């Protein structure tokens, strides 16, 4: 059993998918988000999308960093995480403007004071203003803030996004086909619209990152930060304090800042691609839960996806792998490993898409291709070894 499983989490969320297996799958089975008829407007040429996601256990890392340093800014990053995990999923069906957002914050009032709530809400508003300047309009409709200390040990930050969108501007992934190439957008570095170095961690796999990287000091000082049912052998087994320096990253980025890098949004990049190169986009996949294997869920038929030119693995994932001892196969199933957005397109159109990303300071390149196959399969080349899924 993997460390991930021992900690009560699942990269593939098999039980969740089984629980929702009988629900309506929407109009387009291969689309990254469920898409429904236009119940809001009653127009056959439009659709409705509602999506829910959140920052996950990244809030616990923010809690620990705030308790240790007193720095409230990390909570603004958590607000961004909860938004982007929704926003970048919607991007994958072509939605990039005029979006509604509603937040849900559940806290233990004894541990999470009003100043933390204010930092989260302020961070939400600041992110939306930043997106507005980039041409992405998101309307903040408020939300629910609940004091539920009997349910939540520290704080949970989640959100819901809703949009009404024309059918002829949807990306449904039905056009993905053998012969396509895959343009990958890097998850790390510093985009034009980011304020500093981004490790690329996103908001997936943070349970592993937290327990594998940071030390027993946090189990002893902050027992409220983990499930008391966890075995000691898998609880905070790393060597880092959150304020420790880390080699291989820009000066001033400590271990805590590295793990708490706000999830990068691709909204400014994707807005331009979808506005000016829409017909060139055959499919879109956000490599979130499930990491680099996420694409297998959204192929419109039996195909082989080959990723043989992924980006160099950024330092954060190397640290996690060294600390956990996880093999390459598990790492690529849990984490994005430096590439969090995939654009499926024709070989002749790849450079147009790459050029848009680079204008925004987001590294991009062809990371692989699609071949014919008798089943849905994925090959990932890592250090001259082919990982097969």
Show the domains of the chain with their CATH numbers: 3-198+260-388 (3.30.1330.10)
Residue-wise pLDDT tens digits, 329-366: 999 999 999 999 999 999 999 999 999 999 999 999 99
pLDDT of residue 19: 57
Candidate from 6-10, 107-111, 156-160, 195-199 with smallest mean pLDDT: 6-10
Structure tokens at 14: 């098999």
pLDDT of residue 21: 63
H-type helices in 92-192, by residue range?
114-133
| 144: CB partners within 8 A, 6+ apart | 102, 103, 104, 105
Backbone angles phi, psi at 345, to 5 degrees: -155, 175
Residue-wise pLDDT tens digits, 273-287: 999 999 999 999 999
pTM for this structure? Answer: 0.94
Nearest to 355 by CA among 190, 169, 183: 183
Measure CA 153 to chain center: 23
| 110: CB partners within 8 A, 6+ apart | 149
> Burial level of 381, CB count in 10 A (0-12/13-18/19+)?
middle
For every residue of 310-357, DSSP letters joined together read PPPPPHHHHHHHHHH---HHHHHHH--TTEEEEEEE-GGGHHHHHHHH
In whole numbers, what is the pLDDT of the chain averaged over residues?
Answer: 95
Mean of the pLDDT values across residues 28-51? 97
pLDDT of residue 14: 60
CA 51 to CA 37: how far, in whole Å?
A: 15
Taken in order 219, 225, 229, 233, the sign of the CA dihedral is negative
Candidate from 13-17, 233-237, 299-303, 369-373 with smallest mean pLDDT: 13-17
Residue-wise pLDDT tens digits, 238-291: 999 999 999 999 999 999 999 999 999 999 999 999 999 999 999 999 999 999
Residue-wise pLDDT tens digits, 59-92: 999 999 999 999 999 999 999 999 999 999 999 9
């Amino acid at each position: 059993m993997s460390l991930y499983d021992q900690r009560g989490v699942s990269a593939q969320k098999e039980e969740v998918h089984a629980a929702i297996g009988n629900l309506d799958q929407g109009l387009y089975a291969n689309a990254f988000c469920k898409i429904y008829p236009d119940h809001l407007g009653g127009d056959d040429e439009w659709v409705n999308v509602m999506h829910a996601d959140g920052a996950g256990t990244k809030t616990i890392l923010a809690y620990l960093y705030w308790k240790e340093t007193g720095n409230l800014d990390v909570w603004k990053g958590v607000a961004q995480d909860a938004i982007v995990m929704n926003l970048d999923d919607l991007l994958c069906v072509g939605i990039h403007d005029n979006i509604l957002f509603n937040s849900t914050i559940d806290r233990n009032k004894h541990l999470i004071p009003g100043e933390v709530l204010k930092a989260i809400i302020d961070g939400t508003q600041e992110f939306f203003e930043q997106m507005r300047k980039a041409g992405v309009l998101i309307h903040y409709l408020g939300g629910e803030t609940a004091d539920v200390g009997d349910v939540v040990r520290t704080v949970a930050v989640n959100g819901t996004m809703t949009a009404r969108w024309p059918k002829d501007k949807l990306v449904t992934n039905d056009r993905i086909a053998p012969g396509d190439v895959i343009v990958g957008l890097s998850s790390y570095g510093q985009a034009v619209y980011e304020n500093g170095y981004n490790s690329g961690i996103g908001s997936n796999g943070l349970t592993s990152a937290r327990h594998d990287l940071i030390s027993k000091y946090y189990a002893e000082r902050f027992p409220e930060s983990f499930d008391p049912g966890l075995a000691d052998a898998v609880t905070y087994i790393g060597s880092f304090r959150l304020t420790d320096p880390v080699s291989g990253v820009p000066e001033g980025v400590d271990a805590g800042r590295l793990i708490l890098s706000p999830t990068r949004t691709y909204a400014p990049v994707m807005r331009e691609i979808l506005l000016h190169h829409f017909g060139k986009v055959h499919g879109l996949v956000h490599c979130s839960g499930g990491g680099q294997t996420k694409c297998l869920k959204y192929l419109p038929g039996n195909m082989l996806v080959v990723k043989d030119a992924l980006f160099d693995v950024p330092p954060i994932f190397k640290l996690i792998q060294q600390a956990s001892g996880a093999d390459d196969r598990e790492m690529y199933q849990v984490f994005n490993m430096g590439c969090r957005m995939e654009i499926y397109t024709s070989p002749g159109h790849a450079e147009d898409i790459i050029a848009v990303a680079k204008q925004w300071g987001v590294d991009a390149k062809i990371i692989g291709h699609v071949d014919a196959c008798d089943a849905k399969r994925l090959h990932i080349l890592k250090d001259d070894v082919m990982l097969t899924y």
